[in-house]
Structure 1
Amino acid sequence: MARDVIVVGAGPVGLMTAGELRLGGADVVVYERLTAPTRQSRGASFTKRTAECFDQRGLLGRLGGTEPADSHFGGIPIDLGVLAQDHYGHRGVSQFRTERMLEDWVGELGVPVLRGREVTGVRQSDDGVVVAVDGPDGPAGESAAYLVGCDGGRSTVRKLAGIGFPGTDGRRGFLTADVTGVDTRKRRIGENLPGGSMVMAMDLEDGVTRVVVHEAGTPPPHDRDSLSFSDLADAWQRLTGESLHHGRCRWMSCFTDASRAAAEYRRGRVFLAGDAAHVQPPAMAQGLSVGVQDAVNLGWKLAAAVGGWAPEGLLDTYHAERHPVGEQLARNARAAIELRLTGQDMDPVREVVGELLAHRDAAEYAAGMLSNLGIRYDLAKGDHPLLGRRMPPDRALTLPDGTRTRVGELLRTGRGLLVTCDGAAARAARHHTGRVDTVTGTWTTTPGTTPGTAPDAVLVRPDGYVAWTSPGTTDDLGQALERWFGSARRAL
């Protein structure tokens, strides 16, 4: 049976993509090569913006307790407490915990996750994609209108689609493990050691400690299967004088400082998201976060194309908006690793960067990059400070009946959102019912609200980014609705 969309990869990015597509009404299936979920956790933190994305879908609370994550660039701390806006991310959340939460969510939405299916071929045509799969019952094929590769840094989908993956090869090696039964001093943002070495230790849950070791001069590991926990424990003891050998290793892996971004996020009917589109060292704590944001950007657009109401060029905006983010991520990763691990020759640069980050404007810029709150898309011409930026999901609104709600709660449907204070703008959106929810109310002042940023009316895309404001946008609301939500003349 032909599907609307096939998603390859049941990690956080693939599951988030599938959920977004299903919210938009698409018939979607997820193929996963592994036969069962893994307890491996490359990611253990996510950024403020990713937390907001989860909140917009009512998912953040499902993760249970988290703790605020400090920010740093290349090991140089950024004092988030001096900033007007909350940039703190979330740490101590194992990736398998996030995956479990997202798989429960997509299951509730009716999305099948088919495990033990390895993609072996992709063939595109003007009308769709045929995917060859080697599964439990042998080779098979399934057709779909679109294919999304969320299958990691060694993405089979990317290779089969012929999409280039430029960037830098890994020159440094890192060992990482989740360990119980150890009581080492926590080094949550990592600790630089003489000669360009580094160690990191942070709490996860249930007494688990995530440890990372980079020993300068050690070549990148090429065979992770041959590594043992004693390799990591030996390196840790050489660098710190502490022993972890008595700890019980739950999971171990290795990685390098390779940093790449795909040349194209879209080729025809094939799309890439997450590590399939960009890779960088996990120590940057950005990969999972940027991948989830890829999914939230792509999902509603692809669902609109499936639903037949996507305006011309909407699918192309995925690459236009997310590719620069991926390239910036790759650049930042290279800069941060060089800053952190080059050794004492980099000390003067570290001192200068530290002095710069002590200034509020520089700290705010750097924090915006690392929290992903600084992202601004080119969505419309105008001068409103929110235009092209994410709408803070905690922005409060009082409805005519006195009920108080938040923007994040109003975005749970996965549709666009028009908020108007006087109801006048609602008339322009009456023919976009089913694509845009219209809410009339008054903005409620809350701590942290930036003065002068509450517009009389605002159009928010399903991914939470502001596409139009009144006042402050050159185009009128009708033009904005048609650009992002299609012609009102089409049947709904």
Structure 2
Amino acid sequence: MPEFDTDVIIVGAAPTGLTLATELGAAGVRPLVLDRLPRVREVPKAGGLGGQILQLLRYRGLIERFEAASGQPRPTPRFPFGGLHIDFTSLTEPPMQALRLPQPDLERLLADIGTELGADIRRGHEVIAVSQDPNAVIADVRGPDGPYRVTARYLVGCDGAHSAVRDMAGIEFPGLTYPEVNRLGQFTMPDSVTLRDDGDYDIPGVGRLPSGFTRTERGEFAIASYTPGDLGVYTNENDAGDYDDDVPMTVTEFRDSIRRVLGADVPLGEPTRLTRFTFHARHAQSYRDGRIFLAGDAAHLFPAPGVAVNAGMMDAVNLAWKLAADIAGWAPAGLLDTYHDERHLAGSRTLLHTQAQVALRRGHDPAAVALRDLFSELLVDQAPLHRMSALIAGCDVRYPMPGSGHHALAGTFAPDTIGVAELVRTARPVLVDFADRADLREAAGGWAHRVDLRTAPSDGRPADAALIRPDAQIAWAAGIDEAADTAVPSLRQALSHWFGAPMW
């Protein structure tokens, strides 16, 4: 076997790459993270976290640390969707939640956690070439002190929309780019703007502006507030010209865009966030080529805001434990292939609803207005409202599981109703016995070196037992009072499929 400089090279130190570093560290792997930028980019491309990743961070025991870094209350669960705002406040526990944390602060926090867990994070180190053979992957790097070469078992491209790793691996990235530029600004509330009791705004020289989206012949304008002290403004214009992503947007540029779209000036306070972006709908044909993997924006781009960070970080959570299992030498055959199978499925689901948003927001004729009105009517009822909340949060995906006759929980993200919060904190798999089933515990005994066994009796149990993977996905579950002659063989099959051969 070859000598390795590190087990895993992560290219890109944005949220996806840093999440992968923290998850690998929790599994005992010390990755090398390389990023071409010399320091954290201060332009906050994303304003926070939302969706399933928040639940995962809570399960890991990290959510309080992220909330402290935010220092802001959780925003009301009311989110943009295709030129509308969907209000989830009527749901008791809406799956879609958010945490305000500008991307630079998020990256610094993730880097701190990753470093504490042993990651080597190098900024100003650009990967300029990648090659692989059946046993290793080699990265040629240009660093501050000159070029050098690193060998590893695996390399993961988390290097964004213009991924050099994806290009060097020859992985196709089909899709399209929409001919529009989006600009987003967060400001302190100007004294001259009045936030009305009904949520709308009185703007001097403009009059009353409705909260949410306003469409004009020149584009789309939106205004909203998380708190009475802040003002969020957004514009969307077709063919507004090229821009340099490395040049921060200015307030003057944003004012000019507002004037073009709305035909009026809107007073703005002190900026706390300014960013611009272009919408893409692209999906890598494969998330893997041999020893090279893709995650985050390198693997998928979505034509709607608020979902990319969640999708990328959940890619990392899915991949980390599988890489760690392979590096430790116990991964069953095909385990690494399930990363593409599962996360490509999740990416396709996110593309589905974000492309549906394009259809909702870009139409301006009476038919498009009717579509938006009808869509809004459907979301008055609790069932479709909950379904949409889960869809946007990314937690409605059910991964395919081996075998047949699965319990309804199999393949889903473990809900906290089964007490999972304290069980997956260590990022180890766990078999939870809710019904004091000695037969199931005995059947899992051969995997006790890899799978924790926990008994948690529950009268209101959703299943007799559940096998939970390190990424909090349920790999198997036994029905209430399911007979041993069916439950035991199916449990052993699931244990072998995900966690390799037993000790006996």
TM-score bracket, shorter-length normalisation? 0.7 to 0.9
Of 131, 135, 138, the residue aligned with 1:123 is 131
CA contact 2:188–2:229 (8 Å) conserved in 1: yes
1:479 aligned to 2:482?
no
CA distance in 2, matches of 1:139, 1:86: 50
What SS does the corresponding residue of 1:46 show, helix, strand or coil?
Answer: strand
What SS does the corresponding residue of 2:111 show, helix, strand or coil?
Answer: helix
Change (3 A) 1:347 1:8: same
CA contact 2:189–2:228 (8 Å) conserved in 1: no
1:268 aligned to 2:283?
no
2:94 alignment partner in structure 1: 86
CA distance in 2, matches of 1:205, 1:291: 28
Of 302, 305, 317, the residue aligned with 1:284 is 305
**Partner deviation per Cα, 1:231-260 (whole Å, 9 max, x = no partner):** 211222454577456644455432112211
1:402 alignment partner in structure 2: none
2:442 alignment partner in structure 1: 427
1:165 aligned to 2:173?
yes
1:411 alignment partner in structure 2: 424
2:55 alignment partner in structure 1: 52
CA contact 1:63–1:97 (8 Å) conserved in 2: no
CA distance in 1, matches of 2:427, 2:408: 24
2:114 alignment partner in structure 1: 106
Q: How many residues align?
A: 471
1:306 aligned to 2:319?
no
1:11 aligned to 2:17?
no
Of stretches 116-125 and 193-202 in structure 1, the one that deviates more from structure 2 is 193-202
CA distance in 1, matches of 2:240, 2:321: 43
Which amino acid in the other structure matches residue 348 of structure 2? E
Which amino acid in the other structure matches residue 279 of structure 2? D
2:242 alignment partner in structure 1: 221
What SS does the corresponding residue of 2:466 show, helix, strand or coil?
Answer: strand
1:382 alignment partner in structure 2: 405
CA distance in 2, matches of 1:182, 1:142: 52
List gaps (5 residues or longer) in structure 2: 68-72, 201-209
CA contact 1:70–1:88 (8 Å) conserved in 2: no
CA distance in 2, matches of 1:456, 1:356: 36
Q: How far 1:16 moved relative to its partner?
A: 0.7
1:371 alignment partner in structure 2: 393
Q: How far 1:66 moved relative to its partner?
A: 2.7
Change (3 A) 1:189 1:34: farther
Change (3 A) 1:226 1:428: closer
Of 341, 359, 365, the residue aligned with 1:338 is 359
CA contact 2:214–2:221 (8 Å) conserved in 1: yes
2:39 alignment partner in structure 1: 36
Q: How far 1:210 moved relative to its partner?
A: 4.8
Which amino acid in the other structure matches residue 420 of structure 2? V
CA contact 2:216–2:261 (8 Å) conserved in 1: no
CA contact 1:177–1:211 (8 Å) conserved in 2: yes
What SS does the corresponding residue of 1:120 show, helix, strand or coil?
Answer: strand
Query: Equivalent residues in 2 for 1:322-361 (5 A)?
Result: 322-345=343-366, 346-361=368-383
Which amino acid in the other structure matches residue 142 of structure 1? V
Change (3 A) 1:189 1:208: closer
CA distance in 1, matches of 2:400, 2:444: 22
What SS does the corresponding residue of 2:373 show, helix, strand or coil?
Answer: helix
**Partner deviation per Cα, 1:203-241 (whole Å, 9 max, x = no partner):** 6899775532113x4435343539542121122245457
2:215 alignment partner in structure 1: 193
Which amino acid in the other structure matches residue 484 of structure 1? W
2:205 alignment partner in structure 1: none
**Partner deviation per Cα, 1:402-421 (whole Å, 9 max, x = no partner):** xxxx4112111111111113
Change (3 A) 1:268 1:84: same
Q: How far 1:134 moved relative to its partner?
A: 0.5
Change (3 A) 1:226 1:139: same
CA distance in 1, matches of 2:275, 2:494: 47
Which amino acid in the other structure matches residue 499 of structure 2? F
Change (3 A) 1:439 1:220: farther
CA distance in 2, matches of 1:350, 1:219: 25
CA distance in 1, matches of 2:107, 2:248: 27
Q: How far 1:151 moved relative to its partner?
A: 0.8
Which amino acid in the other structure matches residue 332 of structure 2? P
Of stretches 379-388 and 300-309 in structure 1, the one that deviates more from structure 2 is 379-388
List gaps (5 residues or longer) in structure 1: 397-405, 446-452
Q: How far 1:36 moved relative to its partner?
A: 1.4
Which amino acid in the other structure matches residue 127 of structure 1? N
**Partner deviation per Cα, 1:11-62 (whole Å, 9 max, x = no partner):** 1111111111122222311111111122322222433311111112111111
Output the aligned Cα RMSD: 2.8
2:203 alignment partner in structure 1: none
Calculate percent identity across the aligned residue pairs.
35
1:142 aligned to 2:165?
no
CA contact 1:93–1:205 (8 Å) conserved in 2: no
What SS does the corresponding residue of 1:284 show, helix, strand or coil?
Answer: coil
Of stretches 202-211 and 368-377 in structure 1, the one that deviates more from structure 2 is 202-211
Q: How far 1:273 moved relative to its partner?
A: 0.6
What SS does the corresponding residue of 1:67 show, helix, strand or coil?
Answer: coil
Change (3 A) 1:96 1:435: farther
CA distance in 2, matches of 1:247, 1:82: 32
Of 21, 25, 30, the residue aligned with 1:27 is 30
CA distance in 2, matches of 1:335, 1:326: 14
CA distance in 2, matches of 1:141, 1:208: 48
1:255 aligned to 2:269?
no
CA distance in 2, matches of 1:171, 1:112: 39
Of stretches 465-474 and 289-298 in structure 1, the one that deviates more from structure 2 is 465-474
Change (3 A) 1:44 1:189: farther
CA distance in 2, matches of 1:15, 1:205: 30
CA contact 2:44–2:274 (8 Å) conserved in 1: no
State TM-score, norm by structure 1: 0.88
CA distance in 2, matches of 1:132, 1:256: 31
Which amino acid in the other structure matches residue 352 of structure 2? R
CA distance in 2, matches of 1:431, 1:348: 60
CA distance in 2, matches of 1:196, 1:416: 53
CA distance in 1, matches of 2:146, 2:164: 18
**Partner deviation per Cα, 1:377-406 (whole Å, 9 max, x = no partner):** 1124335221111111x325xxxxxxxxx4
1:391 aligned to 2:414?
yes
CA distance in 2, matches of 1:128, 1:208: 51
